[in-house]
Structure 1
Amino acid sequence: MGERMVWQNRQLLWERRKKQFKEFWQVFRKNKLAMTGLAIFICLILMVVFADTIANYEMQVIHQNRTERLKKPSAAHWFGTDTVGRDVFARIIHGSRVSLLIGFSTTAMSLVLGGILGSITGFYGGALDHAVMRIIDVIVSIPSMLLNIAIVAALGPSIQNLVMAMTIAEIPRFTRVTRSMVIGAAEDEYVEAARVGGASNRRIIIRHIFPNIIGPIIVQATVSVARIILTAAGLSFIGLGVQPPIPEWGAMLSEAREFMMTNPYLIIIPGLFIALSVFSFNTIGDGLRDALDPRMKQ
């Protein structure tokens, strides 16, 4: 009998989640820009997954062939070749891995660390909340690009240091968003009911509060990925990000500066992919915001 009740509860939970997802998808797909962004995002993911199948990393991305340098786009080289004869199409494909890896890894670490800080400070409040938020205010008072430049310049340019610098700059955003949501949710009736039922504070935060505030945090995460990709490209452009010969869209722009007038495709193509990726995540974020807003479902 007990097993049957557990099975029935799981079935009801599954049916409720299916209904929620159906309602979410109905609202999301009405947003044409969000659907366009989703299509671009799927294409980017396919590029990342099948990069090795599409183009050989060593021969087309790293190997220099100066006899093929600065070739215009053609059937042999769809996006042309760069200043040392490397295939631009292959470098764009493999560069998507680097750019998206930086975007997702930085966002994931910022979300986890900022979510933990925001949940603790918002739930407990008091002196801990005051101390943490003052530190956050100090970090926020420094322009994020300046903070990134300072950290990377001090530690040295590399992918790891770049991710570390941008994570530090992004944590305050997630901390503030999570904290504000937790403060509001901590006063709801379901939290009081959980306290009366004997649930620990940790269980209340993880099992009751966090699932109910995840929507705005996901929206913040999608916007954060777009911002991080753009920031990483900017830092690579000035020589403080990904270092050659690793392909990265911002670094490709930096390498092509001298040839922007004679070979504009070297600037246009990486810039276009940066713009498309940023557009994709921003529009997906807008679509998620609308779909997760109960007022949009009325």
Structure 2
Amino acid sequence: MGTRIGAMRGLSGLIAGALALAAGAATAGAGAQLDTMRQGTAHEAIYCIAGSGNDRLAAGVPNLLFTSGDAGATWQRVTEISSPSAYLGCVMTGDTALIVGQQGVVLRRDAKGWAKIDAGTDARLFAVDANAAGRAVAVGAFGTILTSADAGRTWQKIAFDWNRTNDQGFEPHLYGASIESDGAITVVGEFELILRSTDHGASWDIVHQGTASLFDLKVEDSGIGYAVGQNGKVLRSRDHGKTWATVETGVTANLLGIARAEDGKTLVTGLRTMLVVADGAAGATPLVTGDIATTWYQPASPARGGGWLVGGHTGRIARVSQN
């Protein structure tokens, strides 16, 4: 494979790369309502929002951790656990919440409360996902893949021969992960890499490669999947991530997050950009609002009253809905 994408080496590279690209002009757009629920400072950022039932979780930097019991209408700061690390990815499944971040940090919450988990790595972890059966996957810097069979209580590092993906044996950063109810795992990262495993990480298929880094993905049990990344890249799968096709977005911004809705619409967030993609549509619809000029990270759905919850720069948590 070609030259390594130096700008994407680590969290600072990821953010710098996002800020270096301006959103492209959209040919058409839909009106949107953006309601701020929490506003922080210039040095804060909310990198992920996750939800289960009426419970919501938002996490970011510096050491920001919030929960909501009313589908995101109000938020409370979590103070009973803390870490000096940045929180970069999160997921909620039933009563269990998992958060991952810098220095291999893993936080876990269940009915007994919060706990720090030793995942056996000090690599920066960018993303985590889990299913109702207790299977979980986390991915991060330099090809780090971790799996869990007990809802995140313990973790195992997965070995992978990176010579299969590039002729120099580089270990690409992996930025996104998704796990289906049957345990099938899909991960994405640098070089537009998409890997898929159906045996809990024992073996992997390389299903897609390209040039753009991919920063987030979601594959549902229905078979529909989306992956997003650099330069307005959106890929869609209709077969559980086995094959992927490009969705034309009309933007050049880095796209950083995905949230699905029950009506088959997908919110895509990024640098000064929000897009809605319908499963049956060939392209994407930009959301147009005068208050969207910030960088938005991993969103969640649904929010109370409909729409999606989004987190971004300045520690902002907001609800966005399409008019």
TM bucket normalised to smaller: under 0.3
Higher percent of residues as helix:
1
TM-score (norm 1): 0.23
Normalised by the length of structure 2, the TM-score is: 0.22
Higher RCO (C-alpha under 8 Å, 6+ residues apart): 1
Larger Rg: 1
